[in-house]
Structure 1
């Protein structure tokens, strides 16, 4: 993105909605030519944009529901080696934690982040690990993958049994970083690392290496990987491949790590953040970032991956990470899409505004 302690009902429904029995996999689209960076189908005004935090290098986002019915928006600050916490309803900067280092509570290039229950999982690219912190105190609880990961970026979590999670981490190691030389083809099956995460009664966390995956064929190979999102209800992982030499796109995999034979049409710029808007088992949408100025948000049908439209904000640009929170807050009763803005700020879109702009219809919409 482990045992849950205080976990609101709304958040539980949001996080566990995809854990129903698997539906038959839908046919994956075939990769096509690059999409033009044309005018978006709609412009959606941002509900708010936070104050700027210069030189922080904000990147990825996660949401944690608070006991008062609101939520925190937590951003990784890769340049400052910190986490930055905002009020999800207002964008107010609440606190900053961490700093450079290798000790618990310190970070080296934090990138991906995911929240499960009252735990935050933070990928540290340059410490080659996932650090787990408790919420709301953000005190360190443990590390995962320090002996396995090489250049980790993104992550995704799902519950596999009571007190047990599966953690997937993208690992974009290279043979020659400066020259952009990929590893030998035989090593490309290590692009996504799998960990079994066990929660013990005493609150301790244990992460066990459970293998890796990645297709070694030309069509499904994960060359430069970062963001990853999953949909257990449809046995799907969408994994961003940012290698523009072959066309940046999202590749379609099963949860078991098998390439399904297709990818989305090539993006105009980098395929960055990806988020699932989960209405119910058979309806919903994927939202993916095309990293342009302004940022182009591409919307796809949850089941077929058919493109349904695009939108931009009025100001949001050069987005890396996004997170969608559908449980609702006082400011966003139908949920919100949060996006990083130009490395220095975060922004929010009301999902009702997105739905109206693209004429989306689903059970989750008012």
Structure 2
């Protein structure tokens, strides 16, 4: 598939006084990417002010009662959450601090939102904490009895008031915690929980079990990002392993019941680590998977068909590099009438891409962005 190269002109009116876009040099080279395709270029709508001390990782969005959209980021090194205005990139507030008490965090990583509840995975507290929005009041914790080194999270409402929650657990061995466990232990790479949210806002949790292929060819060795698609009974798990771990980084498919399907994206799809993954769902039921190729000096974002997983093109920004987490917000906002893709830039800022520009640059079906 041939991808058109398109440079999108930024509208200065969309830039916030509190968020800046650092222009890239005019001769910035395009990078070869998925399956040899050269990415299109899509300018970021904004790049937030940088904060080198936070080590930002994962992203989630939440819409407040006043209609304002928040972009919530986990900050691993400062052990807190950072809240941005999703339309402008303005930094609004910080929440939490280091500790193991309610409302405190120790190396927070994956984040996810359902309704007015925020789920935060804490690697070094070995738990998932549930907070109530907009005040970030602690509601519940779970996973402490099973999780060893949790990273990513994905959830969906399987029944009214009931959630299925999947958490990746990338525990490692060795003095530097860089040795993959024996194959027999890799059946614990993803933990599955059932969460009931009661009418009074309280939360009840139940551990369903763990899963992961233990074969040499298909084992999940180094896991972090995870996302799902209930319409196609599909989970995609990002395996970040490299040759020294005995694997190759790509996205691996499982069913929602935790069964490996034997399908994975071709390893040639990613030149670096397969990182953040998000589903771009279209109103007609079609859509695209967006997967991060954690490259520097510019991250590549690869799109795959929602149903067939066939490649549908790649793009990069002018600035965004070494991305960990992404969040796709398909709903309209004042700055993004057709939705937005938010990404972490170099662990220290957040960036935003207009989905209409992405669709135009890659020649995608226009019905996906309103």
The TM-score normalised by the length of structure 1 is 0.88
Map of 1:20 onto structure 2: none
- Calculate the aligned-residue CA RMSD, in Å: 1.6
Choose the corresponding residue for 1:360, options 349, 357, 364.
Answer: 364
Choose the corresponding residue for 2:346, options 334, 342, 347.
Answer: 342
* Cα distance in 1, alignment partners of residues 350 and 266 from structure 2: 27
Q: Is residue 56–residue 344 contact of structure 2 (8 Å, CA) maintained in 1?
A: yes
Per the TM alignment, residue 54 of structure 1 is displaced from its structure 2 partner at its CA by: 1.6
| Structure 1: tracts of 5 or more residues without a match | 1-33
Please tell me whether residue 276 in structure 1 is matched to residue 276 in structure 2. Answer: no
Choose the corresponding residue for 1:225, options 207, 223, 226.
Answer: 223
Q: Is residue 108–residue 127 contact of structure 1 (8 Å, CA) maintained in 2?
A: yes
Please tell me whether residue 205 in structure 1 is matched to residue 203 in structure 2. Answer: yes
Q: Is residue 40–residue 296 contact of structure 1 (8 Å, CA) maintained in 2?
A: no
Q: Is residue 82–residue 97 contact of structure 1 (8 Å, CA) maintained in 2?
A: yes
The TM-score normalised by the length of structure 2 is 0.87
Q: Is residue 283–residue 362 contact of structure 1 (8 Å, CA) maintained in 2?
A: no
Between 1 and 2, higher relative CO (CA 8 Å, sep ≥ 6) is seen in 1
Paired residues in the alignment total 333
Structure 1 residues 52 and 39: alpha-carbon distance in aligned structure 2, compared to 1, 3 A threshold: farther
Q: Is residue 282–residue 303 contact of structure 1 (8 Å, CA) maintained in 2?
A: no
Per the TM alignment, residue 258 of structure 1 is displaced from its structure 2 partner at its CA by: 1.1
Per the TM alignment, residue 127 of structure 1 is displaced from its structure 2 partner at its CA by: 0.1
Please tell me whether residue 128 in structure 1 is matched to residue 123 in structure 2. Answer: no
Structure 1 residues 327 and 356: alpha-carbon distance in aligned structure 2, compared to 1, 3 A threshold: same
Per the TM alignment, residue 175 of structure 1 is displaced from its structure 2 partner at its CA by: 2.8
Q: Is residue 33–residue 39 contact of structure 2 (8 Å, CA) maintained in 1?
A: no
Map of 1:65 onto structure 2: 63
Per the TM alignment, residue 343 of structure 1 is displaced from its structure 2 partner at its CA by: 0.5
Per the TM alignment, residue 221 of structure 1 is displaced from its structure 2 partner at its CA by: 1.0
Map of 2:12 onto structure 1: none
Structure 1 residues 68 and 124: alpha-carbon distance in aligned structure 2, compared to 1, 3 A threshold: same
Please tell me whether residue 291 in structure 1 is matched to residue 294 in structure 2. Answer: yes
* Cα distance in 2, alignment partners of residues 207 and 179 from structure 1: 29
Per the TM alignment, residue 280 of structure 1 is displaced from its structure 2 partner at its CA by: 3.6
Q: Is residue 144–residue 206 contact of structure 1 (8 Å, CA) maintained in 2?
A: no
Per the TM alignment, residue 282 of structure 1 is displaced from its structure 2 partner at its CA by: 3.6
2:368 alignment partner, SS class = coil
Q: Is residue 69–residue 330 contact of structure 1 (8 Å, CA) maintained in 2?
A: no
Per the TM alignment, residue 101 of structure 1 is displaced from its structure 2 partner at its CA by: 0.4
Map of 1:152 onto structure 2: 150
2:356 alignment partner, SS class = helix
| Structure 2: tracts of 5 or more residues without a match | 1-31
Per the TM alignment, residue 281 of structure 1 is displaced from its structure 2 partner at its CA by: 5.8
Structure 1 residues 220 and 330: alpha-carbon distance in aligned structure 2, compared to 1, 3 A threshold: same
1:233 alignment partner, SS class = helix
* Cα distance in 2, alignment partners of residues 260 and 46 from structure 1: 36
Please tell me whether residue 351 in structure 1 is matched to residue 355 in structure 2. Answer: yes
* Cα distance in 2, alignment partners of residues 281 and 226 from structure 1: 30
Map of 1:22 onto structure 2: none
